[in-house]
């Protein structure tokens, strides 16, 4: 056990889906996994282990923000022998062509946080996903006929709607090519690279900062189903 996880060693599968929302973790367990059982609920952060088409898979929430995602992913990698984490998160669109429900595969992440300072690098870290996972995700997205794109995401400590700097801040990142803004991808990718593990971030664009288009409240859970299915099919393809 860790201070943030009551699971015993062996309770988690080698492959873990990591949504931010604990309710989404429960949704994945109930709607997508077979024989799912709860393994942790410390601080209301739900974790489950089951199977998907015979493949052992766990799902656990990360909470909001890079600091929270970094803690939970570090503990999964370091203390529970998890090898692969796929983030299944929501994001704000920074391109007008992105529609609610579109999927974004994070090829790299930029950030305004100080997360990488802990590594004492003489430069700027640009973390990346595991290439084989990324390649499998693209293959599966195309096979499933899902609307998707790939590129750089911007992981911010600040929620765009509540940012005191104003909308000009996200517009600067959009001008540099950022597709969407989330809060967790940078910390996950950095942690995976630091520990020599594997990670991929798949994001659903739920609210477009440019056009104002967004999911309705009643769509915000089931609207992530395509992303969840893609993540699970990616793990299945990767495990073959």
Active site residues: 207
Q: What is the DSSP letter of 14?
A: S
What is the three-class DSSP state of 57? strand
List, in sequence order, every residue forming a beta bridge with 151; answer none if it has no partner.
Answer: 106
Q: DSSP secondary structure string, 162-204?
A: G-TT-THHHHHHHHTT--EEESSHHHHHHHHHHHT-EEEEEEE
Instruction: Return d(Cα 218, Cα 216) in angstroms, integer.
Output: 5
Reported residue count of the chain is 240
Instruction: Return d(Cα 84, Cα 13) in angstroms, integer.
Output: 9
Instruction: Return d(Cα 1, Cα 132) in angstroms, integer.
Output: 31
Instruction: Return d(Cα 88, Cα 202) in angstroms, integer.
Output: 5
Residue environment code for 142-170, b if the CB has 16+ CB neighbours within 10 A, otherwise e:
eeeebebbbebbbbbebebeebeeeeebb
């Amino acid at each position: 056990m860790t201070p943030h996880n009551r699971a015993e060693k062996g309770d988690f599968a080698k492959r873990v889906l990591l949504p931010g929302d604990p309710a989404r973790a429960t949704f994945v367990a109930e709607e997508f996994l077979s024989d799912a059982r709860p393994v942790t609920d410390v601080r209301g952060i739900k974790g489950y282990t089951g199977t998907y088409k015979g493949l052992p898979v766990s799902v656990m929430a990360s909470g909001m923000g890079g600091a929270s995602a970094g803690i939970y992913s570090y503990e999964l990698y370091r203390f529970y022998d998890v090898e692969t984490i796929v983030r299944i998160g929501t994001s704000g669109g920074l391109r007008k062509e992105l529609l609610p429900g579109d999927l974004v595969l994070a090829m790299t992440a930029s950030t305004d946080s100080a997360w990488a300072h802990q590594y004492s690098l003489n430069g700027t870290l640009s973390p990346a996903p595991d290439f084989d996972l990324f390649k499998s995700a693209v293959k599966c997205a195309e096979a499933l006929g899902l609307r998707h794109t790939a590129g750089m995401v911007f992981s911010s400590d600040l929620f765009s709607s509540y940012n005191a700097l104003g909308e000009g801040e996200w517009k600067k990142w959009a001008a540099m090519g950022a597709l969407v803004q989330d809060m967790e991808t940078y910390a996950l990718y950095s942690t995976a690279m630091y520990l020599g593990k594997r990670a991929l971030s798949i994001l659903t664009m739920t609210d477009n900062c440019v056009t104002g288009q967004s999911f309705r409240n009643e769509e915000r859970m089931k609207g992530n189903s395509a992303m969840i299915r893609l993540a699970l099919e990616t793990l299945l393809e990767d495990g073959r």
